[in-house]
Amino acid sequence: MLTRKDFLKRTSFTALGSLFLPVIACNNNSKEKKVVPLAKGSASPLVIATWKNLKATEAAMHVIKNNGSALDAVEAGAKVPEADPEDMSVGYGGRPDRDGFVTLDACIMDENGNTGSVTFLQHIIHPISVARLVMEKTPHVMLSGDGALQFALGNGFNTENLLTDKAKAEWEEWVKENKYTPVVNEHNHDTIGILAIDNKQNISGACSTSGWAYKMHGRVGDSPIPGAGMYVDNEVGGACATGTGELVVKICGSFLVVELMRKGATPQEAVEEAVHRIVKKNHIKDEQVGFLAVNKNGEHGAYALRENFSYTYYTDKGNSVFDASFELKKV
Ligand code: ASP
């Protein structure tokens, strides 16, 4: 696996990108900071996704290469793990809640700031597509539970059994061990957060998950909440999160990352600041939580509190998985 450092060494990409970095101009007398807007239109198409999601970034880039929109790209990308029974944190094959129900959360956001979301949705294999329809066909942003299901059924989606034999067997073992009290399932977070920049330099994002394994029935995490699990502002950039959603929600994580970039932070500085804020506010040292970000210039950042955080990044240089752990700093 390439580390981010290896990748950056091999390309002049960041050097180019830095020509367009937002500049914080200081007036020496007043020490007032003025933010000069990011240059527009300097990024090549790219797709970035949490974890080892090579097939998802491939599907998204395929859309962009065929001149599709970033919005179509992120939906196509998120649908890949949603349909994959081996991905046990997203869609079909996702681990159930503590009562044995697979309940899904997803949100999507386009370059115009439109967003749609579903929470606590059962029986539908592609929550991201339902979220998109909420955005496009309703006056609302978010539909939940039975209401979201009814909406999906009314729009041609079919119900399916999303609990695979493998996930059911694991859950039954967990119940047998009498671990009914939810605890953080540290190795089970594989939510897909995906951001794309298309040929028109537009940015969109999507996020989809079955959430925290063996969560309480009815629990909703950060992933379907625009501004928490994912956020895009086409003037600035986008961000998405993975890990313990409760921590992300409490700082409006993805919104925070985008706003920090708006004020002049690089994507890397912004994701580090968001994680550090979580650490500080919750007095924790060790928890799985991380962010990805891209800015309008196509620069990106990745940072997690724990070392096993990987992400997939597809540009004109290729499609690769990176390990963000070298960036881990103890705070
Ligand atoms: N963030 C997701 C949630 O809390 C879980 C994950 O990223 O694995 O629902």
- For 118-176, the pLDDT digits (tens) are 999 999 999 999 999 999 999 999 999 999 999 999 999 999 999 999 999 999 998 88
Of the candidates 115, 191, 209, 315, the residue annotated as catalytic is: 191
Cβ of 245 below 6 Å from ligand 1: yes
- For 34-68, the pLDDT digits (tens) are 344 444 556 789 999 999 999 999 999 999 999 99
**Cα dist from 319 to 33, 62, 107, 150, 294, whole Å:** 38, 12, 24, 38, 16
Give dist(CA 163, CA 96) in Å, integer.
7
Give dist(CA 302, CA 294) in Å, integer.
9
Please give the pLDDT value at position 184.
58
Give dist(CA 229, CA 26) in Å, integer.
33
Q: Determine whether 164 is an active site residue.
A: no
Q: Give the CA-trace dihedral at 118, 124, 126, 129, to 10 degrees.
A: -50
Are 217 and 237 spatial neighbours (Cβ–Cβ below 8 Å)?
no
Burial of 320 (0-12, 13-18, 19+ CB in 10 A): middle
DSSP 139-181: S-SEEEHHHHHHHHHHTT--------HHHHHHHHHHHHTT--S
For helices 145-154 and 127-137, give the axis angle rounded to 10 degrees: 80
DSSP state of 325: G
Cβ of 253 below 6 Å from ligand 1: no
Cβ of 223 below 6 Å from ligand 1: yes
pLDDT at 281 over 50: yes
Closest ligand 1 atom to residue 215 Cα is: 9
Cβ of 51 below 6 Å from ligand 1: no
**What phi and psi values does residue 35 have, to the nearest 5 degrees?**
-95, 120
Mean pLDDT of the chain: 86
Q: Are strands 24-26 and 2-3 parallel, antiparallel or unpaired?
A: unpaired
Domain ranges of the chain: 46-323
Residue to mutate, 191, 208, 210, 246, ligand 1, most ligand atoms under 8 Å from C-beta? 191
Helix (H) or strand (E) holding 290: strand 289-295
Residues, the chain: 331
Cβ of 151 below 6 Å from ligand 1: no
CA-proximal residue: ligand 1, atom 4 (nearest): 245
**C-alpha of residue 199 to centroid of ligand 1, in Å:** 30
pLDDT at 236 over 80: yes
Structure tokens at 170: 């694991």
Cβ of 193 below 6 Å from ligand 1: no
Residue to mutate, 217, 244, 288, 311, ligand 1, most ligand atoms under 8 Å from C-beta? 244
**C-alpha of residue 18 to centroid of ligand 1, in Å:** 32
**C-alpha of residue 17 to centroid of ligand 1, in Å:** 31
- For 176-233, the pLDDT digits (tens) are 887 766 665 555 667 999 999 999 999 999 999 999 999 999 999 999 999 999 999 9
Are 292 and 48 spatial neighbours (Cβ–Cβ below 8 Å)?
yes
Structure tokens at 314: 């597809």
**C-alpha of residue 191 to centroid of ligand 1, in Å:** 6
Closest ligand 1 atom to residue 190 Cα is: 8
What topology does CATH give the domain 46-323?
Glutamine Phosphoribosylpyrophosphate, subunit 1, domain 1 (3.60.20)
**C-alpha of residue 193 to centroid of ligand 1, in Å:** 10
Burial of 156 (0-12, 13-18, 19+ CB in 10 A): exposed
